[in-house]
Amino acid sequence: MADTIFSKIISGEIPSHKVYEDDLVLAFLDIGPLAPGHTLVIPKEPAQTLDQLSDESAAAIGRLLPRLCRAVQTVTGCREYNVLQNNGPGAHQAVFHVHFHIIPKPSEDAGLGIRWPAGKVEDGAEMAKRISEAVTTS
């Protein structure tokens, strides 16, 4: 996988405001925060999208996320927040190294804005069956 800005942050080649680090995970402040405290959580493993991430790195991030969310809540005083994870340019991914955003939602105007054009479930039974079968082979 090609080097990204995040692999350079992991190696220390590019500076960041680090908030957490262990063998598998790094968390640091987003350079363009949607609200104060906007934090990025990344695996050190250089996977481009979440579906490519190993179970080991996924487990390490999953274990940490709630703790990092609590820390962001404590420091910003903001109870409400979004956790966002984009995969692919069409889904607003700009840096092709897996990352989770923790974005405080201090007010209606700050933090993450979401367009949510909800539709209606069609062929739900068939879709659920097919996905459930795919889970076993994925």
CB of 99 to ligand 5GP, least distance (A): 6
From residue 36, alpha-carbon distances to 24, 87, 98 in Å are 25, 24, 22
Cα Rg of the chain, angstroms:
17
Q: Does residue 48 touch ligand 5GP according to CB under 6 A?
A: no
CB of 4 to ligand 5GP, least distance (A): 9
Looking at the Cβ atoms of 31 and 127, the one nearer to ligand 5GP is 31
Q: Is 86 in the site for ligand 5GP (CB under 6 A)?
A: yes
Nearer to ligand 5GP, 50 or 123 (CB): 50
Is 115 an interacting residue with respect to ligand 5GP (CB under 6 A)? Answer: no
CA distance 37 to 125: 41
Q: Bridge partners of 135?
A: none
In the beta sheet, which residues pair with residue 84?
101
> Is 101 an active-site residue?
no
Whichever of 92 and 115 has its CB closer to ligand 5GP, that residue is 92
The distance from CA 35 to its chain's CA centroid, rounded to whole angstroms, is 16
Q: Where are the alpha helices (DSSP H) in the chain?
A: 5-11, 55-76, 124-137
Region binding ligand 5GP by CB under 6 A among candidate stretches 69-77, 92-100, 103-111, 118-126: 92-100
Q: How many CA within 13 A on the CB side of residue 19? A: 20
Catalytic choice (17, 92, 97, 99): 99
Which residues are known to be catalytic?
A: 99
